[in-house]
Amino acid sequence: EYGVEAAAVRCTVIVLCCFMIRRPPLSPLHPDRRSSVTDGQAAHPQGQQAPGGYWKGVSRKALRQYAEASRDLEAAFKADENGPLAENALFQWADTEFHREQFGPAGKLFLDVVRRWPQGDLADDSLHLAAEAALNEDKLDDGDRLVARFNKEYADRDRKSTRLNSSHVVISYAVFC
């Protein structure tokens, strides 16, 4: 009887209810998630202290202050190479080097992420970006090998496989033509 307007109101109510039920995860810096914040260090969700340099580095990277971000992230990673944020710190450091167009060091750091955490959340992204770093350095054979490795080791993680398959064609064409 109410038509389109009533349907729109019902949809809006449903969406709002779903949003309230499925709230996005809280930031580690949110007061409900942190146990303490001292001397620029934010508490990790498991209660362990994350190096303050990690958060500073990520923030500087977001501001495109890549040289400073790289220094902060390197220091954060080296301060706690086996800590809960080590994989993230190394990946962010590598990605910062990639944005600085330091493709050689970036590729090595990305491959270090894969070596240290082959089943980690960032392993596939790291191998993918290591291949891109090799391509940006005109190391086509290395790029081709890394893409083939990605397709072999992370085929079940199909988030980037289409993109890499198209890159693989370009690499193969460039190598063999």
**14 has a pLDDT exceeding 70:** no
HEC profile of 35-85: CCEECCEEECCCCCECCHHHHHHHHHHHCCCHHHHHHHHHHHHHHCCCCCC
Contacts of 109 (CB under 8 A, 6+ apart): 90, 93, 94, 97
pLDDT digits (tens, 9 = 90+) for 84-136: 899 999 999 999 999 999 999 999 999 999 999 999 999 999 999 999 999 99
End-to-end CA distance of the chain: 68
What is the pLDDT averaged over residues 23-36? 42
Q: What is the pLDDT of residue 155?
A: 79
Say which DSSP state 138 is in.
T
* Whole-Å CA distances, 170 to 132, 150, 158: 12, 15, 19
Say which DSSP state 177 is in.
-
pLDDT digits (tens, 9 = 90+) for 39-98: 344 444 444 445 678 999 999 999 999 999 999 999 999 998 998 899 999 999 999 999
